[in-house]
Amino acid sequence: MTWQPQRLPNDHPPVKSGTIGVLLVNLGTPDGPDPKSVKKYLKQFLSDPRVIEIPKIAWQPILRGIILNTRPKKSSEAYTKIWTDRGSPLADITASQAEAIAGDLGENVIVDYAMRYGSPSIEQRLGELTAKGCDRILIAPMYPQYCAATTATVFDEVARVLGEMRWQPALRFVPPYHDDEAYITALADDLSRQIAMLSFKPEVMLLSFHGMPERTLEKGDPYHCHCHKTARLVREQLEVRPEFSGVRFETTFQSRFGPAQWLEPATDDTLIAEGEKGTKRLVVAAPGFAADCVETLEELALEGRDEFVEAGGEDYAVLDCLNVSQSGIQMLDTMIRRELSGWI
Ligand SMILES: C=CC1=C(C)c2cc3[nH]c(cc4nc(cc5[nH]c(cc1n2)c(C)c5CCC(=O)O)C(CCC(=O)O)=C4C)c(C)c3C=C
Ligand SMILES: [Fe+2]
Ligand SMILES: [Fe+2]
């Protein structure tokens, strides 16, 4: 008997392939600013062992018994102040970033965004991309500085989702870009543009990064070093520009959480110390955030102003993150094109 090729069953499902996906991933945000939505979000976020590195058996009773009964109310007040009719600024800006780079990469590339915690989830978006035929996917964690609590947890979740797929796409990840020339130049140009628009010339510029427990540094997390390298490279580009002549640069860490020792100097303590020692004009930039969020719009812009002014400061401004600025989108486009090399 001669060999016959095996015939496919008539009901073989149609399979789509040949498309490339790009998924921008940022931290996440509640679905609404109300305490219930914030509680749901914090429960998911703060249950991640990459974020709180305390054994589950010790941490879960504290989280469920104390934190989730107190923090949602306080955080909800902060979210209420920054919420817009387009929802959470973090999700809104990340969606706009995806939209802005989508057109440039060609018809065969689908660009979308996901939130590591909350929605749209990585699971949902990976499902949608593969259903649209993306058999190659580039994941872009929107964190310039590598940190286990942010960058690594995106990888963990992508791996978990792929673990449930029969036909997995080929995957690439955008590496941390804390010292990438495209990022440093975009930051320097955008900060210069914004400084030129201020009504005052600052004496001090704080470069404020999100904090981390200090012990993560001892455990080998490169986050602290990445932040300091970004700060040095941006400062080196800025201090030779006329609009920054005489400006003193300081690097600080914000958003302390819980009783453990966090990276120092703390942004809030520094704002108070600057006001008390006679600094009158101060600006803050937050280069570690790819998009404005509750930490920049509320903690820095609102709480930070009060702290500085109550301590004796006068003029205060928080500059926008790269968001969808021309420099920011050009930088994302450059990095994503580079990481898609050979695919497009
Ligand atoms: C940019 C990098 C970030 C690191 C590093 C990071 C570490 C980290 N964060 C918490 C706890 C909270 N963070 C919260 C908000 C928040 N954090 C980041 C980024 C990093 N976090 C962003 C972009 C945001 C804003 C989200 C938004 O919806 O706008 C919050 C929630 C707000 C609040 O209650 O204050 C918490 C809590 C820990 C414990 C941690 C490191 C271990
Ligand atoms: Fe955070
Ligand atoms: Fe905060």
The DSSP code sequence of 191-209 is HHHHHHTSSS--SEEEEEE
Distance CA 77, CA 201 (A): 32
CATH 3.40.50.1400 fits 19-176+328-339, yes or no: yes
Residue 63 CA to residue 46 CA, distance in Å, equals: 8
Please state which CATH class domain 181-318 belongs to.
Answer: alpha beta
Q: For every one of its 344 residues, what pLDDT tens digit does the chain have, with 9 covering 90 and above?
A: 556 666 666 677 777 888 999 999 999 999 999 999 999 999 999 999 999 999 999 999 999 999 999 999 999 999 999 999 999 999 999 999 999 999 878 889 999 999 999 999 999 999 999 999 999 999 999 999 999 999 999 999 999 999 999 999 999 999 999 999 999 999 999 999 999 999 999 999 999 999 999 999 999 999 999 999 999 999 999 999 999 999 999 999 999 998 899 999 999 999 999 999 999 999 999 999 999 999 999 999 999 999 999 999 999 999 999 999 999 999 999 999 999 999 99
> How confident is the model over 231-248, as pLDDT tens digits?
999 999 999 999 999 999
C-alpha torsion 290→294→295→296, nearest 10: 70
Pairing of strands 315-318, 134-141: unpaired
Rounded to the nearest angstrom, the distance between the alpha carbon of 220 and the centre of ligand 2 is 19
Interatomic CA distance for residues 116 and 96, integer angstroms: 17
Among 129, 149, 301, CA closest to 216: 149
Residues lining ion ligand 3 (Cβ < 5 A) are: 255, 295, 299
Atom of ligand 1 nearest to the CA of 293: 29
| CA 235, 239, 242, 246 torsion-angle sign | positive
CA of residue 12 to ligand 3 center, whole Å = 51
Return the structure tokens found at 211: 């904090």
Q: Which two tokens stand for residue 64?
A: 């469920």
Alpha-carbon distances of 137 from 124, 140, 340, rounded to whole Å:
14, 10, 9
Helix (H) or strand (E) holding 295: none
Domain ranges across the chain: 19-176+328-339, 181-318
> Do 19-176+328-339 and 181-318 agree at the fold level?
yes
**Amino acid letter at 24?**
L
Our answer on whether the CB atom of 29 is closer than 6 Å to any ligand 1 atom is: yes
Over the Cα atoms of the chain, what is R_g? 22
Residue 117 Cα to ligand 2 midpoint, Å, equals 11
Testing ligand 1's pocket by substitution, the residue of 74, 75, 207, 294 carrying the most ligand atoms inside 8 A of its CB is 294
**181 has binding-site annotation:** no
- Could you tell me which of 172, 42, 32 has the C-alpha nearest to residue 88? 32
295 annotated as a binding-site residue = yes
